[in-house]
């Protein structure tokens, strides 16, 4: 058994134009000062990582790792959430997702998709050069507007949607196989991969590709009312990354899972800072230890109430308290004896 690593923090929700949130060194020092040991880094800001340069230059990656280590932390994984989202966009979302893309491909869905595929593919080589084995992404969504089956979906629509998603992702997954890096899809509402069933359908469409894996984030399962502990039991062989994020679900006679178009403060399902929501992290960390998960426990802060810096400070301590240093012996080893086949047969009464 292996003890998982942590605590680490996902930088995306903290990055800004002012100190200490505007460069990778400043944020690394900030994270280390709060007690974090690692940082998870989005690829979209060159002040943090130049993904094209990282994909082509081991020297650049060694120098970047050195700069971060000098600040007291290490890079845990890269994130391509926004770029992965753009691998597959239904036309209904073209305009609202265009802002995630490079300026030169906005307003051109075909060029935007090609750019997104290129960016996520670059992250494979960049991760390998940085000495990383996992990166996190979104799957994108062609089918999400058809999530609730009214009007009735035409026969074969879901199958064609997953076939197209697989066609777009298969070359990316193959590039990650060549690089020795896993793509860990964050199972997330708004994505075609939003629960276990949809992940299985995608996995089937990519022929059980070994690099198609999961980032586990229980907060999204609370909001869907999915059993987040059973999910670990079912999918633990594919869970390679872990976002530690809390949530609560408080339905009423007025609103439930779909939220009534309310903002995050008024929705029945809300993200909260660690320890302020309903997620049973004691059970989660126990299951991950049981299944020998050795990845990073990474704080993702998205609380609708608490200030982000307080959430980060508390989150580092929360994760530390929940990490289980796994045992190297069974509690009843002291009473065990040597294996003796003849004695075992006598005990069972087999030689009488």
What digits encode the pLDDT tens for the residues 288-337? 999 999 999 999 999 999 999 999 999 999 999 999 999 887 776 766 77
Nearest one of 285, 313, 282 to 297, comparing CA atoms: 285
Question: Confidence band (pLDDT; 50, 70, 90) for 88?
Answer: very high
Cα angle 20, 23, 27 (rounded to 5 degrees) comes to 50
What's the pLDDT at 335? 67
Task: For domain 5-347, give the CATH superfamily.
Answer: Divalent-metal-dependent TIM barrel enzymes (3.20.20.150)
Please check the confidence at residue 126 and state whether its pLDDT lies above 90.
Answer: yes
What digits encode the pLDDT tens for the residues 128-160? 999 999 999 999 999 999 999 999 999 999 999
What's the pLDDT at 134? 98
What's the pLDDT at 334? 66
Please check the confidence at residue 121 and state whether its pLDDT lies above 70.
Answer: yes
Which pair of tokens denotes residue 325? 């240093």
What's the pLDDT at 169? 98
Crossing angle of the two packed helices 109-129 and 58-70, in degrees rounded to 10? 70
Which pair of tokens denotes residue 319? 């994760």
What digits encode the pLDDT tens for the residues 199-256? 999 999 999 999 999 999 999 999 999 999 999 999 999 999 999 999 999 999 999 9
User: How confident is the model over 64-83, as a mean pLDDT?
Assistant: 98
Within 10 angstroms of residue 333's Cβ, the number of other Cβ atoms is 9
For 324, residues 6+ apart whose C-beta sits below 8 A from its C-beta are: 3, 4, 285, 286, 289
Distance CA 52, CA 39 (A): 20
68, 25 Cβ separation under 8 angstroms: yes
What digits encode the pLDDT tens for the residues 1-39? 899 999 999 999 999 999 999 999 999 999 999 999 999
Burial track 35-66 (b if 16+ CB lie within 10 A, e otherwise):
bbbbbbbbbbbeebbbbebbbebeebbeebbe
68, 28 Cβ separation under 8 angstroms: yes
What's the pLDDT at 269? 98
What's the pLDDT at 221? 98
Distance CA 212, CA 226 (A): 21
Q: What is the mean pLDDT of the chain?
A: 96
140, 85 Cβ separation under 8 angstroms: yes
């Amino acid at each position: 058994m292996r003890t998982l690593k942590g605590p680490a923090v996902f930088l995306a929700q903290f990055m800004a134009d002012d100190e200490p949130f505007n460069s990778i060194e400043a944020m690394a020092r900030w994270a280390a000062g709060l007690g974090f040991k690692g940082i998870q880094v989005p690829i979209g800001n060159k002040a943090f990582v130049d993904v094209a340069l990282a994909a082509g230059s081991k020297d650049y990656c060694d120098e970047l790792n050195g700069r971060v280590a000098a600040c007291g932390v290490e890079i845990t994984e890269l994130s391509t959430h926004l770029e992965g989202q753009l691998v597959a966009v239904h036309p209904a979302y073209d305009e609202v997702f265009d802002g995630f893309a490079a300026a030169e491909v906005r307003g051109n869905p075909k060029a935007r998709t090609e750019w997104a595929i290129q960016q996520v593919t670059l992250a494979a080589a960049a991760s390998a050069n940085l000495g990383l084995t996992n990166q996190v992404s979104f799957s994108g969504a062609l089918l999400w507007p058809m999530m609730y089956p009214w009007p009735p979906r035409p026969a074969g629509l879901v199958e064609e949607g997953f076939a197209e998603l697989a066609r777009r992702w298969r070359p990316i997954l193959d590039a990650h196989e060549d690089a020795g890096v896993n793509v860990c899809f964050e199972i997330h509402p708004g994505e075609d991969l939003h629960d276990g069933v949809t992940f299985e359908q995608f996995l089937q469409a990519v022929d059980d590709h070994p690099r198609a894996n999961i980032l586990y984030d229980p907060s999204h399962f609370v909001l869907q009312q999915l059993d987040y502990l059973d999910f670990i039991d079912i999918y633990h062989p594919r869970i390679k990354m872990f976002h530690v994020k809390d949530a609560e679900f408080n339905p009423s006679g007025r609103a439930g899972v779909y939220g009534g178009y309310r903002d995050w403060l008024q929705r029945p399902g809300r993200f909260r800072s660690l320890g302020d929501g309903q997620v049973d992290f004691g059970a989660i960390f126990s299951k991950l230890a049981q299944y020998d998960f050795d990845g990073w426990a990474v704080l993702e802060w998205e609380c609708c109430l608490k200030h982000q810096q307080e959430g980060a400070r508390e989150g580092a301590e929360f994760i530390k308290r929940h990490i289980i240093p796994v045992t190297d012996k069974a509690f009843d080893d002291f009473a065990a004896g040597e294996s003796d086949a003849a004695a075992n047969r006598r005990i069972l009464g087999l030689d009488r």
